[in-house]
Amino acid sequence: MKKRRSVRFRVLAVLLSIAVFVVAFLSLAQLGVLINAKRVRWAPDYEKTDISALLFKNERTEEDYRTLYEQTGLTRLGIDGLLKSGNFGRILNIQTAFFKQKEILSKNIAPFTFYERFDEVMPTAELENGDIILTASVYVSFFRYGHSALVTDASQGELLESFSPGTTSSISSKDVLLSYCTFLIVRPKATKEVRTQVAAYAAKELVGIPYKLTAGIFEKKYDERGLKTTQCTHIVWYAYQKFGIDLDGNGGKIVKPQDVFLSEQVELVQAYGFDLDRLWRE
């Protein structure tokens, strides 16, 4: 009888311990959500100025480009690209959006997982095939992981994305990602021809790959035979690795959006919602 009571007591103790652990875990995860929810996008705390004269100049100084960056989030690469294509007006629209206060909408997409967006699409630099769009506006509890996508057809505004568990990689519209309340547009330091080849390869060969958050840990990060599973940044990294370009800034088994931004193999084209001095260096 005593033995039965002892066994019963141990079972109850184990169940109670599990229950306490689950409650503690859920409470901690929810606390992370609450803390992350208060981390809104960065917005300029200085005045908007007239930049028209700088855009009309035949040649701009480093100081001019710095002023334009502070007023629009566009780097020299972004400014020159838009002026070359005759999109003077879009630069002014980007400046207006850069300073405009907007309501942030938060959407729950999985347990303790959210993304933050606006109800409008932000104007951007002139995108090119092979460009990469990164955002910090996706988080799981305490962990602000972010999201990545590869521009496969700039003329049609199409991206390759691997979004979340239970989905497969697919071609989507840039408008979804560019409504997020933070984004960085980066351009790998490869020739335009190579970047175009990467985009074409990704659109043809990397669609329909099952999502797996741990892609690269329990199987090869890069497998010449092809991808069996992937995640948002891994698929972007894989597309470029196929052409001998490693965009992983720290070389770890898991490649994250921030790793791509910190890679010496990319250049910044445009920043939105990030502190322009720190960007995603923290």
CB-CB contact of 104 with 118 (8 Å): yes
What integer pLDDT is reported at residue 217 of this predicted model?
84
Q: What is the mean pLDDT of the chain?
A: 85
Q: Of 139, 164, 163, which Cα lies nearest the Cα of 31?
A: 139
Domain extents in the chain: 1-38, 106-272
- Give the max Cα distance, the chain: 95
CB-CB contact of 145 with 139 (8 Å): yes
Average of per-residue pLDDT across 49-75: 96
CB-CB contact of 129 with 137 (8 Å): no
Overall CATH class of domain 106-272: alpha beta
Tokens of 252: 């770890």
Q: Which residue has the tokens 């109850």?
A: 12
**CB-neighbour burial class of residue 124 (10 A; exposed 0-12, middle 13-18, buried 19+):** buried
CB-CB contact of 167 with 236 (8 Å): no
Average of per-residue pLDDT across 164-188: 93
pLDDT at 23 > cutoff 60:
no
Q: C-alpha 68: how far from its chain's center? A: 23
Average of per-residue pLDDT across 126-138: 94
CA dihedral 190, 195, 197, 199 (to 10 degrees): 150
What integer pLDDT is reported at residue 116 of this predicted model?
86
Q: What is the pLDDT of residues 158-171, one digit of tens each?
A: 999 998 888 999 99
pLDDT at 254 > cutoff 60:
yes
Confidence of residue 19 (pLDDT cuts 50, 70, 90): very low
Q: What is the pTM of this model?
A: 0.85
What integer pLDDT is reported at residue 111 of this predicted model?
64
CB-CB contact of 268 with 75 (8 Å): yes
88 CB contacts (<8 Å, ≥6 apart)?
55, 82
Residue 10 has φ and ψ, to the nearest 5°, of -65, -40
pLDDT at 99 > cutoff 90:
yes
Confidence of residue 115 (pLDDT cuts 50, 70, 90): confident
Q: What is the pLDDT of residues 190-228, one digit of tens each?
A: 999 999 999 999 999 999 999 998 888 888 898 888 889
CA distance 3 to 279: 63
Q: Of 136, 142, 139, which Cα lies nearest the Cα of 30?
A: 142
